[in-house]
Amino acid sequence: MTTTDTHCPYCALQCGMGLRTVAPGDTPGAPAVEVVERPGFPVNRGALCGKGQNAAAVLAGAARLSAPLLRDPRTGTLEEVSWERALDRVAAGLGDVAARHGREAVGVFGGGGLTNEKAYLLGKFARVVLRTPYIDYNGRFCMSSAAAASRAAFGVDRGLPFPLEDIATAGCVILAGGNPAETMPPALRYFTGMRENGGRLIVVDPRRTRTARHADLHLSPAPGTDLALASGLLHVVIADGLLDREFIADRTTGFEEARAAAMAHWPERVEELTGVPVPQLREAAHLFAGAETGMVLTARGSEQHSKGTDTVRAWINLCLATGKAGRPGSGFGCLTGQGNGQGGREHGQKSDQLPGYRSLTDPRARAHVAGVWGVDPDDLPGPGVSGYELLDRAGTAGGVRALLVMGSNPVVSAPHASHVTDRLRSLDLLVVSDVVLSETAALADVVLPSAQWAEETGTMTSLEGRVILRRAAVAPPEGVRSDLYVLKELAARLGVGRGFPDEPEEVFEELRRASAGGVADYAGISYARIGAEDGVFWPCPDAAHPGTPRLFLERFGTPDGRARFAGVVHRPPAEETDARFPLYLTTGRVGSQYQSGAQTRRVPALNAAAPGPFVELHPWLADRLGVGEGQLVAVTSRRGRATAPARITDAIRPDTVFMPFHWPGPGRANTLTNPALDPESRMPEFKVCAVRVERATEEAPS
């Protein structure tokens, strides 16, 4: 038996694990590898959640695509074909659409689980081969609001500007809209360690989640009111004389604007807006301001709103006003969800960015990257539109008519999902590269079976900004190819025969050059160094540089080195409750499924733990509706109807219902969600919309 040190394929913790080859014949029908502990990796020290423990199951042949599929125009069914025929069809289709409608009629939609090498080459493919501005990715649905807020306040966007281990040293942590006990369980040890060291945990969530049950104080605001809550806490800090005036004077700008905005959020008004009692507001403000060190960590609950960027700016204001930033044991951070949500946007999938976290509109950035790519900077297209806007306009006049989707399942994961499904069906050409026949792949004209995490080597960037190496442990099944191979072959068929290698390390070497001098500088990071050091933190500009585990200790990343306050004020959700839709819906994840569930729903052990969707509602609401545990209920919004069994619990507000978003069909939560966009980050408002709930006698149409 041999064991390969690698990393989990799921969330942005990128936990270390080993994959041990199983001797042939020992376990007939089982995967060729099994997951074993890797205690030496510092993030998880061998601990794995249920998804990680069962990660090898998605390598099994029964769950996989094993050959390219092409839709037969006569029967409408997907039929197995050769790779040559499939790639010829894709290249011809992309070329035909571009010739008939222009280059801007072709688009690319990527995924937050792609390696840095894939994300980089996909962005290059869009801009050099297709020469289209229309590329974005599902990471836009993840932490784009926190990214926009961090760039504005600190000049740098990195999920955590400090290692996870620093959480355990903090005196107080506010966790706003996150549930790591279910979404990234190995991280919970840092919060437990913090409390064991005498620190206090404050959880902000409309539900009393598994994480909230660990908290010293749980604040339960109405969905869509986190901005008012954060501003109200700042009001108390100011009014009660808890400011760190020396820090504000020495290391920040813009405080007076933030102060004026906070004065409009006095405690009684904030209680009326949020439902959080004034005594709890005061207690939270004093706990946080009174701690010697502290952190605010946001996640999707605070960020996935049409005002998500302003909400995160309000939380950052609280950190800055109390001196809880740019110091050891203190800071603002975001708990990134997707495995490579960080690296995916740093190096090319985001519509307005070039590798190294460079702006696509910066002439110097364009010149640098174009020089690495060997093209004229003037030939690089400008910024396109955000992920939802790309999908929303698909198949329409002025929208893309052909779309390459790589590693994403927007039929389940996008807001207003029934509309997105219709738009994808209207395309002249839909090509999907994926590991399994996802709901999106099932709509495609061409499906390309992709190698996955344990079958190919590549780098990922964790929520800490730690660049790690996922090593191949087994060969992909016969008939399966890597996404790098797909991009190389398509580029050649479309007239670009050089610059698209399919060896991951060769791609990474080019990525290093392209990122050099950028905010996310990987120039000093190599495969050999990552392996020797358990990952390297960016920025790392040269081989002699130690990497940067902790940002901002001496200065922030802004031109003058100072952090920026923001004058932000509460505004209601894009959609408020009324007589027809009197309840709030919020969505989220459960511990045994991941994102759209395309892979985890194919793992028997995970399905046994979380077999299907549900609607969580308070006993008072259930009694009013005459609904019992497990009875089918219908949840209706202005966009559609979903049905699922009721799960009755007093761990949720009486005015709010919750649905997990991992499932397609009648229980698809994103049939209901509102695609209203944040004006800056273009994040959709997944976390709040107005609904009504009724007893149901039949399932919603799928």
Examine the pLDDT at 28 and tell me if it is beyond 80: no
What number is the average pLDDT over the span 127-144?
95
pTM of the model: 0.96
Instruction: List C-alpha distances in Å: 421 to 409, 410, 442.
Output: 10, 8, 11
Q: Which residue, among 368, 387, 398, 326, has the nearest Cα to 555 in the 3D structure?
A: 326
What number is the average pLDDT over the span 441-451?
98
> Which residues are within 8 A (CB) of 324 and not within 5 positions of it... i.e. 6 or more apart?
288, 291, 293, 294, 295, 296, 318, 330, 331, 332
What number is the average pLDDT over the span 393-399?
95
pLDDT given for residue 701 in this prediction: 82
Q: Which amino acid is at 523?
A: A
Examine the pLDDT at 260 and tell me if it is beyond 80: yes
What are the pLDDT digits (tens) for 265-315? Answer: 999 999 999 999 999 999 999 999 999 999 999 999 999 999 999 999 999
Q: Give residue 342's pLDDT band: very low, low, confident or very high (50, 70, 90).
A: very high
CB environment 272-299: b (16+ within 10 A), e (fewer): ebbbbebebbbbbbbbbbebebbbbbbb
Percent of the chain with pLDDT over 90: 94
Examine the pLDDT at 31 and tell me if it is beyond 80: no
Structure tokens at 459: 């780098």
List the end-to-end C-alpha distance of the chain, in Å, as a whole number. 46
What are the pLDDT digits (tens) for 640-698? Answer: 999 999 999 999 999 999 999 999 999 999 999 999 999 999 999 999 999 999 999 88
Number of other CB atoms surrounding residue 269 within 10 Å: 16
Beta bridge partners of 467: 461, 536
What are the pLDDT digits (tens) for 582-606? Answer: 999 999 999 999 999 999 999 999 9
Q: Give residue 337's pLDDT band: very low, low, confident or very high (50, 70, 90).
A: confident
Instruction: List C-alpha distances in Å: 376 to 23, 301, 348, 373, 506.
Output: 53, 42, 18, 9, 22
pLDDT given for residue 22 in this prediction: 82
DSSP 388: H
What distance lies between CA 386 and its chain's CA centroid? Answer: 14
> Which residues are within 8 A (CB) of 330 and not within 5 positions of it... i.e. 6 or more apart?
170, 293, 294, 295, 319, 323, 324
Sign of CA dihedral 624, 626, 630, 633: negative
Vertex 19 angle, CA 523 and 342, to 5°? 35
Q: Give residue 27's pLDDT band: very low, low, confident or very high (50, 70, 90).
A: very low
- DSSP output for 53-100: HTGGGGGSGGGS--S-EEE-TTT--EEE--HHHHHHHHHHHHHHHHHH
What distance lies between CA 206 and its chain's CA centroid? Answer: 21
Domains of the chain (ranges; CATH) run: 69-141+340-462+482-495 (3.40.50.740), 158-334 (3.40.228.10), 583-695 (2.40.40.20)
Examine the pLDDT at 97 and tell me if it is beyond 80: yes
Examine the pLDDT at 1 and tell me if it is beyond 80: no
- Cα Rg of the chain (Å, integer): 24
Q: Give residue 24's pLDDT band: very low, low, confident or very high (50, 70, 90).
A: low
- CA 145 – CA 302 distance, rounded (Å): 9
Percent of the chain with pLDDT over 70: 99
> Which residues are within 8 A (CB) of 468 and not within 5 positions of it... i.e. 6 or more apart?
7, 14, 459, 460, 461, 462, 530, 534, 535
Structure tokens at 78: 């997907």
Q: Which residue, among 585, 572, 575, 677, has the nearest Cα to 227 in the 3D structure?
A: 572
CB environment 344-364: b (16+ within 10 A), e (fewer): bbbbbbbbbbbbbbbebeeee
By the 8 A CB rule, do 589 and 182 touch? yes
DSSP 586: E
Is the backbone peptide bond immediately before 611 cis, with ω within 30 degrees of 0?
A: no
- DSSP output for 467-521: EEEEPP-SPPPTT-B-HHHHHHHHHHHTT--SS----HHHHHHHHHHHHTTSSS-
What number is the average pLDDT over the span 64-73?
96
- CA 274 – CA 147 distance, rounded (Å): 25
CB environment 63-91: b (16+ within 10 A), e (fewer): bbbebbbbbeeeeeebeebebeebbebbb
pLDDT given for residue 668 in this prediction: 98
Examine the pLDDT at 502 and tell me if it is beyond 50: yes
Higher confidence at residue 76 or residue 697? 76
